[in-house]
Structure 1
């Protein structure tokens, strides 16, 4: 064996997003994003991280829309929806000195297969197809009630877990994309395929929940036949078919498809949203009923198709007839009684391809620069750091002046706006003001704790920039009445000198100068005394001569009774007097002769504070 030099393999540097999410192995790649297995370092759980293409992030409007839609999606918690945990932007310095924004979302990691993979294996049975579509509709029923329209339902956005649970993902992303995309061609480039578009989406019209139901109908069609109802060489060609052509019933596309689901698919694929199912719940009910119902006859199915697609079917016949007439006028030999279908569709394909090429050229080509050579457009630097924005605008030949102001909505150090605004055409050397956020206005907590309530009110009512909130009374055995014990802002205790948002309300906890005592009658005297003394109270004792003492002494009454008393006040406890031994009288303050300790006679011996009769006479305490 020969010795060969070895080189240590260096592990690739870990990528951490927002200081919290570690990006691990690649799971999948799509037209607009890559999906990675990841790990949440804060909560200690495995997640899926979808990192969007950086080209999408160049548009500030998209980033804002994406963040808002991701937040809306994160509020949806349903078993049939992949949970969105978080969304953010990864900020990196680019070679030009600016900052690159890469949006990402953090989702629940689902173990299973994409529905697109399942559909690619073979057409499914009616039961399996209905089960998967029912899961999609269940998710849509929930999201539509929450006011969220998905806009991109397709098998690639549906996961089937290992135990058969259907989970729909990417809620809100399609809207963020479509609201910032100018053309159908551009939108479909981002979303990957137009095969599942509704007609209203293809025409750039406003959409509602019924657009999702149309896309679900396309998914059901594909599960039953192995392909979507409309395919073409370009997104524009497919979009044209969604708008203008009637779909072929699944059983005519794939004879083994379950005939009882033909009317369900045809209804879902109606061009007019008003002719589709009104909501996901109705779609689910119809699908469930169809599994147990009878199949339509060919005449009934034709009648349904005429009802739903009459205009499109007539238009197709008119197009075929027109092309047939044109071919006859140009001397094209006809060898069949009907119109030359192959020739007609070839011509249509040529027209569609031309439209698609034109759309692609419009999207991909740079617009004509009609500006005067000595002018420049103001770049949108909103959200950039002040230094990066200044470098960018200076490099464009503009004079820059930076100023700042507080802002509650824009992070400190980020650009709020420029004057003139983005897109304004200026001469080289023109002046541009950049307004940068100082962050929210802050105020310092004045000296409050330990002072009086009156002094605290005066401090907050002055020029502190703060407001007096609630006054919360609290019994404290040591603090005098009116002493401020604590100050809080939004439930958090604050200290002198601490900075909080200007205008914050400061809640004060103020001593009442009183303490609460309990009813300790029946408790051993010594224990009661300790409890009251722990509250800073003074305890005195009186003897009740009308009862016989127990061992240990027990509190008979207390004054004052249970409730609030002033701090450092006195509590008087009344106990029974001890009995005088050897006397028929229970003892007491007896006057007469006798000596308690020696038995010698004498006068005026009162006994040892014994309770009992007050009778006078001779006697010996020891008998």
Structure 2
């Protein structure tokens, strides 16, 4: 029997839990990608990206900085899906000469992922990654912090008048306290990980958010001690940054190397 009622459209298939549609792109080109994302991006679980997503993040970047390891792409607007501005770090091994150099740089990619397991207010979390083994390129995604690194903040602050100073003493004290808390957290192992030595604590590896809260970045040469160990033996003495790291030749690394670097950094914060 005929009726005026229209048949109801079939219900859409129930989507998998925690799935979102992420739109990454610009006005000229966009790609919609379906990916599983936890509600809290900062729970320590890395999101694995694909090549299309990486290319879209590159197109969204407004700043591009080149370094010895590769290129850093900075998106200063909120990226859909992540809902925060992000930094995409590209590590290109094609320009590394020799197998040993490539192996060391690839090891630094693994070391960077250590940070994703350390959820602390004084450490910038790693959000996502993509390993492009075929092209020897590796990508790491982390939050973008508005006020840049401490080195540049100090340099800019020195050129300001006394009345217009950004880095007031209470801010400098807060920066030193927050980084000290981050170091203490790294050095205190737990049932999930051992003690982590950063080994390159310096003003360029400390970044500041809009409220001048300080966080550590760059765990490329970090080392995790085995359970019960208080030191780690290395085969090279080329560790850390000249001017921060002790001039002595060290093959056995301990927590005191981070303390030394932090002491140098604290001195620079106090006198500049």
Provide TM-score, normalisation by structure 2.
Answer: 0.59
Q: Does 1:62 align with 2:104?
A: yes
Separation in 1 of the partners of 2:143 and 2:96?
23
Computed over aligned residues only, the root mean square deviation of the Cα atoms, in angstroms, reads 3.6
1:284-433 counterparts in 2 under 5 A?
none
Q: Does 1:50 align with 2:89?
A: yes
CA displacement 1:200-235 (0-9 Å, x = unmatched)? 5xx142222221111111111112223xxxxxxxxx
CA displacement 1:93-137 (0-9 Å, x = unmatched)? xxxxxx430222111222223211222133966544332211111
Q: Which has the higher contact order (CA 8 A, sep 6+)?
A: 2
Partner of 1:267: none
Paired residue secondary structure (1:129): helix
Partner of 1:556: none
Separation in 1 of the partners of 2:234 and 2:128?
22
Say which one has the larger Rg: 1
Question: Are the equivalent residues in 1 in contact too, given 2:86–2:142 (CA < 8 A)?
Answer: yes
Partner of 2:221: 174
More moved, 20-29 vs 103-112: 20-29
Question: Are the equivalent residues in 2 in contact too, given 1:61–1:180 (CA < 8 A)?
Answer: no
Separation in 1 of the partners of 2:203 and 2:66?
15
Structure 1 residue 85: Cα displacement = 1.4
Structure 1 residue 52: Cα displacement = 2.4
Separation in 1 of the partners of 2:53 and 2:154?
36
Question: Are the equivalent residues in 2 in contact too, given 1:20–1:41 (CA < 8 A)?
Answer: no
CA displacement 1:489-536 (0-9 Å, x = unmatched)? xxxxxxxxxxxxxxxxxxxxxxxxxxxxxxxxxxxxxxxxxxxxxxxx
Separation in 1 of the partners of 2:256 and 2:205?
18
| Structure 1 pair 47–127 and aligned structure 2 pair: CA distance change class (3 A) | closer
Q: Does 1:210 align with 2:249?
A: no
Separation in 2 of the partners of 1:88 and 1:181?
29
Partner of 1:111: 146
Paired residue secondary structure (1:81): coil
Question: Are the equivalent residues in 1 in contact too, given 2:62–2:74 (CA < 8 A)?
Answer: yes
Q: 2:158 aligns with which of 122, 134, 146?
A: 122
Partner of 1:80: 122
Partner of 2:73: 36
Consecutive unaligned residues in structure 2, runs of 5 or more: 1-27, 32-48, 160-166, 190-194, 224-232
Partner of 1:134: 177
1:97-108 counterparts in 2 under 5 A?
99-108=134-143
State the aligned residue count.
197
Provide TM-score, normalisation by structure 1.
Answer: 0.28
Separation in 2 of the partners of 1:158 and 1:225?
17
1:365-514 counterparts in 2 under 5 A?
none
| Structure 1 pair 199–49 and aligned structure 2 pair: CA distance change class (3 A) | same
Consecutive unaligned residues in structure 1, runs of 5 or more: 1-10, 92-98, 227-623
